[in-house]
Chains A and B, each alone.
Chain A
Amino acid sequence: MNAYEWKQYFSRISNMVEKEKDYLSELDRKLGDGDHGVTMSIGWKAVKEELQTNLQNENDCGTVAMKVGRTFLSAVGSSVGPLYASGLISGAKAVKGKAEISHQDAVVFWIQFVSGVHERGQAQVGDKTMVDTFLPIQEELKRSGDLIKALDAAKQGMESTKQLESKRGRSSRLKERSIGHQDPGATSAYLIFSLFVEQFS
């Protein structure tokens, strides 16, 4: 994947989120304040604009990832802002100075991305958050380095949130009433990773 395709990937996240935003907000209405789709849409739209302007001629994949993270954070705040920004900035180190991302680079990027999210948010697997999708990706990548297998693990992680009780964020006040609904943050995390795997392979 070259820098152009890398930037294209982040742009495509914006297109995907526009398509899925009502679905994501709907999931959030069951658990929180119903704005997850809106928040993601605001953030990724800002990223897309940054890619088309200030990052148009940027060929360092690390710089791109870092700026995407900072742009997303400044546009949304919320809790997803710092979480995704920390993931992207942490992942950026794996692709710093590179105009081309190899399979191994991609694996390291995602491993570090997940570490960044995890350290910032401190959520564990089973807390019913995006970490239920992200941590299994990291484990699988550390084990096999296989993106397709990691995508399977991500899907299982996302689906597991249906049965879980919320432990973090606003929805944690719901306790057992949160069971039965898939977590919106885990869902968007899956969609974002799935888009990467699809484009990379």
Chain B
Amino acid sequence: MKKLINVPENVVDEMIDGFLKAHPSLVKGIEANSRSIIRADANKQEKVSVIIGGGSGHEPAFMGYVGTGMADGAAVGNIFASPPPDPVLEAVKAVDTRKESLLVYGNYQGDLLNFGMAADLAEMESDIQVKQVIVKDDVASAPKEESDKRRGIAGEFFVTKVAGAAAETGYSLEQVYELTEKANQNVRSMGVGLTPCSLPQTGKPSFELMEDEIEIGLGHHGEPGVEKEKLLSSNEVTDRLMNDILEDMPLNKGEEVSVLVNGLGSTTRMELYIMYKRVEEILSENEIHIYKSYVGNYSTSLEMGGCSITLLKMEEDLKPFIDAQAHCPMFEQN
């Protein structure tokens, strides 16, 4: 597959370099680790810090969400691979103002090991109290009884938004954690894959699908999903994804949700809005009110084709944080 890159081994570092140079008023790097990114205005205000991170290749996630109202810092891993403990630890230390930090990341073994080690080190070396919210929104990745095994996908956007906005208000670590964990409990996603992506180093497609096939529940690193199906219409696919979400998280008439229709990389806005149209129809048929909607590329998988639907069940105490302003290099909300 064609890619506009220089040296495959350098893509992550070159991306970070360009990113920092493009947005100096919003983000900056730190001396201690070239894979840690923090807010340009870090440490201006005493607050709980929110640190996110994960593998590269999911842009805007994760470094694109460093900024006011979102994360204070991000650790950037190699492509689709968790960052090691150092950039997480150094980001935690670089934005520390109150010895309280919340780590938000997806439920993958690598992230659990590396962020877990970083949390231990931050507590041991710097006396920073650390709590962790491990996002597990992907309904397709494990049955409801084993929801602790579910991986984190696009729902991490909502969870990060709640964490960042709650921290911004000056809440305690306990309060920020409770709200963020509530968002985590209330969020569900389902994805579909149409075409694979390829790693810059191998150039080979991450999975194979026939021209007329789609994969329901595909992971956002190209991990196979729950089943392959013949290519269906957008409405049929949307019905299927929404059905799986609503079966897993039943919603009553009159309840409210925020919606994210997320593109995986090469799927067009046109396709995403066609899908959103159907999502809106299904929700209004069920008399479920839409509180706020997001349509676009919020968490991608390089150039993968496909998309995901995420619903966040709204409760009164989550609303201010979904409404809150955010100013980040790759996400802006006024």
Chain A residues within CB distance 8 Å of chain B: 22, 25, 29, 32-35, 37-39, 41-42, 73-83, 120-121, 168-174, 177
In the bound complex, residues from chain A placing their C-beta under 8 Å from that of B199 are: 33-35, 38
Q: A77-B81, A77-B83, A78-B78 are in contact. Are A32 and B110 (CB under 8 A)?
A: no
Q: A42-B9, A75-B84, A78-B78 are in contact. List 19 more A-B contacts (CB 8 A).
A: A32-B223, A33-B80, A33-B221, A34-B204, A35-B202, A37-B202, A39-B81, A74-B84, A77-B83, A77-B85, A79-B108, A80-B110, A81-B82, A82-B85, A120-B113, A168-B109, A170-B109, A170-B221, A171-B223
Question: Interface 1/0s, chain B 140-155, versus A by CB < 8 A?
Answer: 0110000001010000
Contacts of A75 in B (CB 8 A): 84
Tell me, yes or no, whether B25 is within 8 Å of chain A by CB: no
Given that A76-B84, A173-B142 are known contacts, is A83 also in contact with B113, CB under 8 Å in the complex?
Answer: yes
Q: Mark B108-137, 1 if CB is under 8 A from A, else 0.
A: 111001100100000000000000000000
Closest to A120 in B: B113
Residue of chain B at shortest CB distance from A25: B202
B60 located at the interface, meaning its Cβ lies under 8 Å from any Cβ of chain A in the complex: no
B294 lies within 8 A of chain A by Cβ: no
Contacting B110 at CB < 8 Å: which of A22, A38, A77? Answer: A77
A59, B84: Cα distance in complex, Å: 27
Q: In chain B, residues 82-109, which have Cβ atoms closer than 8 Å to a Cβ of chain A?
A: 82-86, 108-109
Q: Is the CB of B84 within 8 A of A34?
A: no
CA gap between A35 and B82 in the complex, in Å: 12
> Closest 3 A-B residue pairs measured CB to CB?
A79-B110, A33-B221, A77-B84
Give the residues in chain A near B110, CB-CB below 8 Å: 77-82
Q: How far is the CA of A41 from the CA of B82 in the complex (A)?
A: 16
Q: Are A177 and B224 in contact (CB under 8 A)?
A: yes
User: In the complex, which residues of chain A have a beta carbon less than 8 angstroms from the beta carbon of B222?
Assistant: 33-34
A35 contact set on B, CB distance < 8 A: 79-81, 199, 201-202
Q: Does B82 lie within 8 Å of A79, measured CB to CB?
A: yes
Interface centre among A34, A170, A177 (most CB of B within 10 A): A34
CB distance from A17 to the nearest CB of B (A): 13
A22 CB contacts on chain B under 8 angstroms = 202
Bound-complex Cα distance A4 to B152 (A): 45
- Interchain CA distance A10-B47 in the complex, whole Å: 45
Counted as pairs of residues, one from A and one from B, with CB atoms less than 8 Å apart, the total is: 100
Q: Does B77 contact A (CB under 8 A)?
A: yes
CA A63 to CA B108, docked complex, whole Å: 31
- Verify if B266 is at the interface (C-beta below 8 Å from A): no
Min CB distance A182 to B, Å, is: 17
Query: SS class of chain B's interface: helix, strand, loop or mixed?
Result: loop
B233 to chain A, nearest CB (A): 26
B80-A77 in contact (CB<8A) = no
Decide if B207 is an interface residue (CB 8 Å cutoff): yes
Q: Which residues of B contact A172 (CB under 8 A)?
A: 149
Q: B207 contacts which chain A residues (CB < 8 A)? A: 29
Which residues in A have their C-beta under 8 angstroms from that of B81? 35, 39, 76-78
Asked whether A173 lies within 8 Å of B78 as measured between CB atoms, the reply is no
Cβ of A77 and Cβ of B82 under 8 Å apart? Answer: yes
Indicate if the CB atoms of B219 and A78 lie closer than 8 Å: no
A82 with B113, Cβ < 8 A, contacts A34-B199, A170-B108, A174-B224 known? yes
Determine which residue in B78, B85, B114 has the highest number of CB atoms from chain A within 10 A of its CB, and name it. Answer: B78
A83 contacts which chain B residues (CB < 8 A)?
A: 113
Residues of A within 8 A of B82 (CB): 77-79, 81
At the interface, yes or no: B206 with Cβ under 8 Å from chain A? yes
| Sample of 17 A–B contacts (CB below 8 Å) | A29-B204, A29-B206, A33-B221, A33-B222, A34-B202, A34-B222, A38-B202, A39-B78, A41-B201, A77-B77, A77-B82, A77-B85, A78-B82, A81-B114, A170-B221, A174-B224, A177-B224
Question: Which chain A residues border B79 with CB–CB below 8 Å?
Answer: 35, 38
Q: Measured between alpha carbons, how far is A37 from B202 in the docked complex, in Å?
A: 9
Interface residue ranges of B186-202 to A (CB < 8 Å): 199, 201-202
Distance from B13 Cβ to chain A, minimum over Cβ atoms (Å): 12
B35 nearest in chain A by CB position = A77
Task: Mark out the residues of chain B between 62 and 86 whose CB falls within 8 Å of any chain A CB in the assembled complex.
Answer: 77-86
Residue of A nearest to B217 (CB): A173
Taken together as a complex, chains A and B put the C-alpha atoms of A147 and B77 apart, in Å, by 36
Contacts of A81 in B (CB 8 A): 82, 84, 110, 113-114
